[in-house]
Amino acid sequence: MKLYYILVLAFLATISTSNAQEISDTKFGKGLINFVAKDSSFSIKFAPRIQFRANSAWFHDGDKYSDQVENFLIRRARLKFSGFAYSPKLKYKIELGLSNRDIAGANEFNNNTPNYILDAVIMWNFYENFELWVGQTKLPGNIERVVSSANLQLIDRSILNSKFNIDRDIGFQVRHHINLNDRFVVREKFAFSQGEGRNVVTGNLGGHQYTGRLEFLPFGLFQSKGDYKQGDLKREPKPKLMIGATYNFNNDAVRTRSGKGSYMITENGYHQTDITTIFVDGMFKYKGLSFMGEYANREANTPIAVEDDGTPTGDVVLEGDSFNFQGSYLLKNNYEFTGRYSKISYYEVTNAGNIDQYTMGISKYIVGHKLKVQTDFTYSEKNSEKDFIMWRLGFDLHF
């Protein structure tokens, strides 16, 4: 898909207002366009967003911090379309990425084209509390990954997420929830997907990917789906807790990080191995106080890629354990102070050592997550030795 067609799509969404009826206010943060057809046969919400980032890092050379690296970038620039078609029970979401980081990765597996498509999914509430999802979207993985990048309280996600998340894939999902009583809610999420990640057009190269997640909310639902938004911007008047666990099995996976990472290519095809990824996580909020915790584990039955004669190719599955703990408090003037500790302990076969990172951040929410300024500072160690320090500044604008 060329950029031209993306812009045409956005333009058509705009001019469609001549045949539609506006049913909700369009103040900032509610979407640039938010309409429903006069006969209520469809609706469309168009919400673009941008994220500017400035980064500076200083690396330790064994004696002192030097070798400064700095850059400015548009970290994310996205177009998001959502709504319903034919019936409010049949919803859809399309999200397109335009920044270099979003579209990078053209290769033989996606016809050497940019990765414009992030989400393209249809969600059908076909029976009571059951929903069927079809298309490409995030798998029900660790909470930090499923939280939108628009709703983060630090400049970016943790190292746990960057190395262990299972991201997006193409396939089917079934979602359901149970109300055990007037407060306690249990949610079940199951996915069957291709196994190679987003925008892959070559078909299934190994086996398929199977994902299951359970979530427990003993004190009821969060306000405005706050269990999947960082920071307690709603200042929950009563304690709210969500505890979740995910099991992901990628059968005959051909990439080093399950559905992500490099392809394990051999002289006669691909190295295939079963990869299992486990997440246990939780979110707690109460009167401006927010806490998120995560644990991740990845293992493979044959993590080292080899040729037919047993010679290693150099590709190795990233096996190991990781923890991430993040806490914050929101002041009444909408300044928020956040602290995060993240740790990765790779297995010996991965030969990547251990990483510890400490991050402190400040956010100023002007219009919630829709308009905010953030900054954070990170100190990183590798194998208990000084690695680097990093300062970042970010500005987010989300219609």
Contact predicate 74/51, CB 8 Å: yes
Q: Do the domain assignments include residue 354?
A: yes
Encoded amino acid at 291, one letter = F
Quick one: pLDDT band at residue 29, thresholds 50, 70, 90? Answer: confident
Average pLDDT over residues 262-272: 94
pLDDT in tens, 276-303: 999 999 999 999 999 999 999 999 999 9
Please compute the mean of the pLDDT values over residues 358-366 and round it to a whole number.
Answer: 98
Identify the three-state secondary structure at position 302: coil
pLDDT interval class at 62 (50, 70, 90): confident
For residues 352 and 322, the answer to whether their CB atoms sit within 8 Å is no
Number of domains forming the structure of the chain? 1
Alpha-carbon gap, residue 118 to 165, rounded angstroms:
15
Average of per-residue pLDDT across 370-387: 97
Q: Is the dihedral of CA 99, 141, 170, 207 positive or negative?
A: positive
344 or 67, greater pLDDT = 344
Tokens coding 316: 């190795």
Residue 22, in any domain of the structure: no
Return contacts of 33-42, CB within 8 angstroms, 24+ apart. Answer: 36/83, 41/85, 41/86, 42/83, 42/84, 42/85, 42/86
State yes or no: pLDDT of 239 exceeds 50.
Answer: yes
| 289 found inside a domain | yes
* pLDDT(193) > 90: yes
pLDDT at 328 over 80: yes
pLDDT of residue 18: 44
| 2 pLDDT tier (thresholds 50, 70, 90) | low
Q: Is residue 1 part of a domain?
A: no
Residue 30 lies in a domain: no
Q: What pLDDT sits at residue 73?
A: 94
Residue 6 lies in a domain: no
Phi/psi class of residue 213: alpha, beta or left (left: φ > 0; alpha: ψ in -120 to 50)? Answer: beta
What pLDDT is attached to residue 68? 87
pLDDT band at 3 (very low <50, low <70, confident <90, very high): low
195-234 CB burial, b ≥16 within 10 A, e <16: bbbbbbeeebbbbbbbbebebebebbbbbeebbebbbbbb
Q: Taking a C-beta distance cutoff of 8 angstroms, is the pair 308, 264 a contact?
A: no
**Which of 38-42, 137-141, 332-336, 342-346 has the weakest average pLDDT?**
38-42
Note down the domain range covering 345.
Answer: 103-398
Average pLDDT score, the chain: 93
What is the model's pTM? Answer: 0.92
Compute CA 179 distance to the chain's CA centroid, rounded to the nearest angstrom.
27
Q: Is residue 311 part of a domain?
A: yes
pLDDT band at 32 (very low <50, low <70, confident <90, very high): confident
CATH number of 341's domain: 2.40.160.10
Q: What is the pLDDT of residue 17?
A: 47
Report d(CA 356, CA 189) in Å as an integer: 31
> How much is the average pLDDT of 72-85?
96
Reported as a single tens digit per residue, the pLDDT across 141-159 is 999 999 999 999 999 999 9
Q: Per DSSP, what are the bridge partners of residue 343?
A: 323, 356
The amino acid present at 383, given as its one-letter code, is: N
> 8 in a domain, yes or no?
no
